Amino acid sequence: MIIILMGYMASGKSTIGKKLAEKINYNVVDLDDVIEEKEKATVTEIFKNKGEIYFRKKETEYLKEILNTSDKIILSLGGGTPCFGNNMDLILSQEKAKSVYLKASLPKLVTKLMKKKAKRPLIAHIETEEELTEFIGKHLFERSAYYNRAEVVISTDNKSKKEIVTEMVATLF
């Protein structure tokens, strides 16, 4: 089985993915890392030098590649991956995959991202908490229709990483 983790940036996809992988003895694959390795450039550089359309085409190409060749992996998607092209339909059509939306509330995301925004090119330019709340709120509104199509939705608010992983194992297996 491929476990596909989706959610907004800072929702815990990478961290929870690693913890879950340890518990169930799966490998972890981060789609952004695959893109960077194959394109020999960071996601930021790809966006800057080749544009978002190029990036989204490559993202879909590598997503298909992973879904068609891998098993026993936890695949962490980029926050926007399910929302572009036919990526969500592609994900849901995989018989050997389960999609999981790690759902964090707007206040939790704002709190986490205010501390890490320098490392996040999409929000690095945002200066105030109010502006960040507005930015993330708009994104969540646009993206929630895609995220909520996941086969499993796990709320991450007020739960430890261990509790989230335990809930995922109980739900998926």
The pairing of strands 152-155 and 73-76 is unpaired
Residues comprising the binding site for substrate? Answer: 32, 56, 79, 143
Residue numbers in the known binding site for Mg(2+) are 14
Tens-binned pLDDT, residue by residue, of the chain (173 aa): 999 999 999 999 999 999 999 999 999 999 999 999 999 999 888 988 998 899 999 999 999 999 998 789 999 999 999 999 999 999 999 999 999 999 999 999 999 998 887 777 778 889 899 999 999 999 999 999 999 999 999 999 999 999 999 999 999 99
CATH topology of domain 2-172: Rossmann fold (3.40.50)
Residue ranges for the binding site?
Answer: 10-15, 32, 56, 79, 120, 143
Q: Which residues are annotated as a binding site for ATP?
A: 10-15, 120
Alpha-carbon distance values, 138 to 71, 134, 164 (Å): 35, 6, 26
- Joined together, the tokens standing for residue 3 give 């476990």
